[in-house]
Amino acid sequence: MIKKIFSEPLSHFLLIATSFFFIYNFISPAPVDENSVTVTSGRIDQLKSRYKKVWQREPSEEELAKLIQNYVLDEIYTIEGRALGLDIDDGVIRKRLRQKMEFMLQDMAAITPPTEQELNDFYLQQQDKYKNPPQYTFSQRYFSLDTEQAELIAVIELQQERIANKLAPQGENTLLPEHLKAATSFEISKHFGRSFESALQAAPLNKWHGPVRSGLGLHFIKLEQIIDGVLPALAGVEEQVLADWRYHQNITFKKRFEEKLLEQYQIKIQQEQSVGN
Amino acid sequence: MVKSKISIALALTLTLGVQGCTDKTQDKAEATPKVDEASTELMAKSSQSDIAINPTNDVYFGNFHIHTSYSFDGFTNGSVTNPDDAYRWAKGEAIPGGGTGGDIQIKRPLDWYVVSDHAEYMGVFKQMSNPANPISQLPIAKRITSKDQAVAFKAYSEVNDGMNAGISDPQLTDPKVTKPIWAEVVATTESHNEPGKFTTFPGYEWTSAPDDRNLHRVVVFKNATAIPELPFSTIDSNKPEELWAWMDKQRANGATLFAIPHNGNASDGIMFPENKSFGGSEMNTAYSDARMRNEPLYEMTQIKGNSETHPDLSPNDEFSAFEIWDYTLSPSAVRPTNRVGSYIRDALLRGMKQEAEGKGNPFKYGLIGDSDSHNSASSMEEDNYTGKFGMENDANHRLNGLPGFPEANNVQVREFGSAGLAAIWAKSNTREDLYAAMLRKETYATTGTRIKVRTFASFNYSMGMLEKANWLESAYSDGVPMGGDLSAANLQGAQSTAPILVIQALKDADGANLDRIQVIKGWVKDGQTFEKIYNVALADDRKVDSNGKVTAVGNTVDAKTATYKNTIGDAALSTVWKDPDFDSKVHAFYYVRVLEIPTPRWSTYDAATLGQVPRTDIPVSIQERAYSSPIWYTP
């Protein structure tokens, strides 16, 4: 129960937001009287250093006085503007507030490291990503569809005869490798197109087989070995799993946070019933 | 009301928070001893030595030129993703696309990838939303992050114009802000490098554009060894010569790096200078040496247009008008006026002419294609195009216009081509082998599809060599691959009196058939440059007629459904070609261009998705292509 409440994104957010609030108040206490503006020495230091950054020198006394006066006016305008309700419905302010909140959310997601159980669950759930891919060792001979159909049929029949006589088929000379050793799905689709792996899976072992179709044309294949994909132990890929967990946590954390927020509000959408399309 | 609710929740959290924390610490402590470090190390080692080496090289496809929301213009224009997302995209994961669209995902993952955000204000615009970062307090931050697109775009334009005019806001370039961002980008890049499976290189873009004329370079580091604390940006200097001097210094400090220029088409003639460079250099050996020491490759095709050649420069090249993007970098869609100095074929010719004059060749470039997307996703798949910027992640917007954008800019967006690819022939998919291949220029460009092309040249090949099973081994042992050099010395005692080129091309395994292979030859005679295009292999048994013409391959594109058929063209084309016009006394280069049959342009796929008739102001179909690095002959 405790754990559950703690892992709620909204609670995280509130915890951190409040600490911000307290720290801020501690550093620069707000003016007490509604009609007064206090410029603290910390604020003056900040104005100075900002000036220094732009102009690469200290402001003169006169310049500092102007900076302070300008700051005071900023404050007064802000108070007066708020009193007039000018901050309400201001697109710029709204967008800034949302961005600030989103930024606070961003890394909060991964503040608490996952428990062993959580990490293991995540690893099993995403296991396809960590699995060593299956590997295929095979020979292939290629025949393009560029030749006339009758000629192509004759060529294919000739190869089938060769195979029957225990001879290897003779393919066209192209940029395709004739023998692939422990090739992964990625490598196979890079050479032969995305549909070719399934043809290999269906092929018999140590026997010329075909013709089968690829993204390039026709092939005879002789499959020598398939090494099934295995899932390595978590210890061997933990660093990657942890990085992925953080990445996913960021995404789901924000989604859950927004869902929670939406739950706390009654949303009424007063949309006119549209007529036609 | 809302306030009181939050206070209650808060009180609860504060009380429970402490217990929760203790809880987690214990879990972590229990988990730690279970990680067997010895076995982890062993696994890492064995996987290193498992990397297969192919002495005759395999081709590896990827991109050097990718921006994320860490680029000031990427952020302003709607990107919501980071370098981490970019690498995940290249490996095949779905990532948020930004704009009004959903997630984006590549159909076929890549072999390698480089995030190269702009050095200028790197990550700074994004940090403007971070209340913990002091720059979020700056007045410009409010405008940059404004919801009102007009306010945000105006603020961005001011920064951009300032940058192009050499003025920067020191508040935005504070090393305290920028150093940790660059360090984070490098660390992210390191964490995604998987030798033998997926390669990354740390990189960034140097964004010089004096008066909106593009001189941009992507700077690529071989690894993080001795990598500088901060990248050299156009704020440091907008002169390429100064960038090269800085790069030389980094090399002396132990770093390994090169730069890749791009978009000569948007440089208005200053990318490949004729007499004097923008930086003030005369065209001499010192300039040629400095340029070639730092820049082995040129990015000749990308989203912002193709820079091979322009119809004005090559009027006899019937395929020259491909994805021409005829603008400078001005936000108000200004046309350049200088063709010379903007395109690579012309530069290859003039570079050779300079060499003939004893001034060295400053433009002896290998070729690659790339992206320049600002949305983490390279977006090279024509049927899976997601635009250059986040805000284009909506078929209707990128095709018919972005809300609030002037029509002139919408035309520019429509005229963006989908990204290209850089193809590298290397012994394995590792930093070591890819980097070595790039230095020897054994690379080629594609306009986005995964055509395979091999090109070799020699005076000692036999015309029947392709019939031999081991032709590839002899091609390497008896000649040079793309990017290589032949010289008069190779002619002595050789079997042939003219160069023999061996060329093999194979279609993209999931793509369109091939139309033809062309050899593009350039030479210099009596102080003049010449170019000629030879059709050396033609699909569908076509022949070159007595006037040197070839009938078109045809077009199977159905615009309404955005489909095509491989009923025309060939899957594989190859030839052994001997230059019939060779003159051993003059400088020459040869590069290969392979054309696919016509396929639908991204805009045609979008029109089909939207159920609208394809627009008439952009082509319905295009012929995707590959360009090999040249092979040079020096008398």
In a domain, B40, yes or no: no
pLDDT at position B125: 78
On whether both A39 and A64 belong to a single domain, the answer is yes
Is B119 in contact with B71 (CB distance < 8 Å)? Answer: no
Of B413, B443, B473, the residue that ends a domain is B443
On whether both B464 and B432 belong to a single domain, the answer is no
Contact between A92 and B142 using a beta-carbon 8 Å cutoff: yes
On whether both A56 and A93 belong to a single domain, the answer is yes
pLDDT at position B28: 34
On whether both A110 and A192 belong to a single domain, the answer is no
Q: Which of B110, B130, B513 to mutate to test the interface with A (most CBs of A within 10 A)?
A: B130
On whether both A29 and A114 belong to a single domain, the answer is yes
Rounded CA-CA distance A246/A110 in Å is 6
pLDDT at position B502: 98
On whether both A170 and A196 belong to a single domain, the answer is yes
Closest CA to B437 of B180, B36, B57, B13: B57
On whether both B370 and B251 belong to a single domain, the answer is yes
Closest CA to B622 of B568, B571, B572, B555: B555
Count chain A–chain B contacts defined by CB atoms under 8 A.
158
The model's confidence at residue A2, banded by pLDDT at 50, 70 and 90, is: very low
The model's confidence at residue A22, banded by pLDDT at 50, 70 and 90, is: low
In a domain, B429, yes or no: yes
On whether both B456 and B338 belong to a single domain, the answer is no
Contact between B171 and A100 using a beta-carbon 8 Å cutoff: no
Of A101, A121, A141, the residue that ends a domain is A121
**Residue-wise pLDDT tens digits, B195-250:** 999 999 999 999 999 999 999 999 999 999 999 999 999 988 999 999 999 999 99
What is the DSSP secondary structure assignment for residue B389, as one 8-state letter?
A: S
In a domain, A31, yes or no: yes
**Residue-wise pLDDT tens digits, B99-113:** 888 999 999 999 999
On whether both A141 and A217 belong to a single domain, the answer is yes
- Tell me how many domains chain A contains: 2
In a domain, A238, yes or no: no
In a domain, B389, yes or no: yes
Is B109 in contact with A60 (CB distance < 8 Å)? Answer: no
Of A227, A243, A270, the residue that ends a domain is A227
Closest CA to B275 of B210, B343, B207, B340: B340
Q: Which domain holds residue A207?
A: 132-227
In a domain, A102, yes or no: yes
Facing residue for A186 by CB, picked from B40, B109, B130: B109
Which residues of chain B fall below pLDDT 50? Answer: 1-47
Facing residue for A146 by CB, picked from B14, B40, B572: B572
On whether both B569 and B607 belong to a single domain, the answer is yes
On whether both B549 and B580 belong to a single domain, the answer is yes
- Tell me how many domains chain B contains: 2
Contact between B509 and A189 using a beta-carbon 8 Å cutoff: yes
DSSP assignment of A202-262? HSPBTSEEEEEE-SSEEEEEEEEEEEPP-PPPHHHHHHHHHHHHHHHHHHHHHHHHHHHHH
Contacts of B5 in chain A (CB under 8 A): 264
In a domain, A253, yes or no: no
On whether both B374 and B480 belong to a single domain, the answer is no
pLDDT at position B238: 94
Rounded CA-CA distance B62/B60 in Å is 7
Phi/psi for A28 (5° steps) reads: -130, 90
Is A221 in contact with A140 (CB distance < 8 Å)? Answer: yes
The model's confidence at residue A4, banded by pLDDT at 50, 70 and 90, is: very low
The model's confidence at residue A12, banded by pLDDT at 50, 70 and 90, is: low
Q: What is the pTM of this model?
A: 0.84
Phi/psi for B118 (5° steps) reads: -60, 135
On whether both B215 and B281 belong to a single domain, the answer is yes
Contact between B19 and A214 using a beta-carbon 8 Å cutoff: no
On whether both B234 and B185 belong to a single domain, the answer is yes
pLDDT at position A216: 95
Question: Measuring CA to CA, how many Å separate B487 from each of B459, B521, B528, B635?
Answer: 10, 16, 20, 6
Per-residue tokens: B593:
């261009």
Contact between B151 and A92 using a beta-carbon 8 Å cutoff: yes
On whether both B424 and B503 belong to a single domain, the answer is no
Q: Which domain holds residue B456?
A: 451-634
On whether both A203 and A102 belong to a single domain, the answer is no
Of B403, B422, B443, the residue that ends a domain is B443
On whether both A218 and A178 belong to a single domain, the answer is yes
In a domain, B15, yes or no: no
On whether both B172 and B283 belong to a single domain, the answer is yes
In a domain, A244, yes or no: no
Q: Which of B3, B7, B13 to mutate to test the interface with A (most CBs of A within 10 A)?
A: B13
In a domain, A260, yes or no: no
pLDDT at position B26: 36
Facing residue for B145 by CB, picked from A99, A146, A182: A99
In a domain, B44, yes or no: no
Contacts of B172 in chain A (CB under 8 A): none
Residue in A with minimal Cα distance to B449: A190
Rounded CA-CA distance A172/A159 in Å is 12
Per-residue tokens: A218:
């026709």
Of A121, A152, A172, the residue that ends a domain is A121
Within 8 A by CB and 6+ apart from A235, the residues are B34, B35, B36, B39, B40
Within 8 A by CB and 6+ apart from B555, the residues are B597, B598, B621
On whether both B331 and B405 belong to a single domain, the answer is yes
Q: Which of A4, A10, A15, A277 to mutate to test the interface with B (most CBs of B within 10 A)?
A: A15
On whether both A41 and A98 belong to a single domain, the answer is yes
Contacts of B17 in chain A (CB under 8 A): 6, 11, 15
Contact between A235 and B39 using a beta-carbon 8 Å cutoff: yes
In a domain, B51, yes or no: no
pLDDT at position A268: 85
Contacts of B452 in chain A (CB under 8 A): 175
Of B393, B427, B443, the residue that ends a domain is B443
On whether both A6 and A116 belong to a single domain, the answer is yes
The model's confidence at residue A20, banded by pLDDT at 50, 70 and 90, is: low
- Assess whether pLDDT exceeds 70 at residue A23: no
Q: Which of B6, B32, B105, B129 to mutate to test the interface with A (most CBs of A within 10 A)?
A: B129
The model's confidence at residue A13, banded by pLDDT at 50, 70 and 90, is: low
In a domain, A242, yes or no: no
CATH number at residue A176: 3.10.50.40
On whether both B515 and B433 belong to a single domain, the answer is no
In a domain, B43, yes or no: no
Contact between B571 and A102 using a beta-carbon 8 Å cutoff: no
Is B536 in contact with A220 (CB distance < 8 Å)? Answer: no
Alpha helices in B32-76 (DSSP H): 37-49, 72-76
Alpha helices in B192-221 (DSSP H): none
On whether both A57 and A38 belong to a single domain, the answer is yes
Contacts of A5 in chain B (CB under 8 A): 12-13, 16, 20
Contacts of A144 in chain B (CB under 8 A): 570-572
In a domain, A138, yes or no: yes
Contacts of A14 in chain B (CB under 8 A): 6, 9-10, 13
Q: What DSSP element (H or E) covers B506? A: strand B500-506
- Assess whether pLDDT exceeds 90 at residue A127: yes
Closest CA to B16 of A8, A111, A263: A8
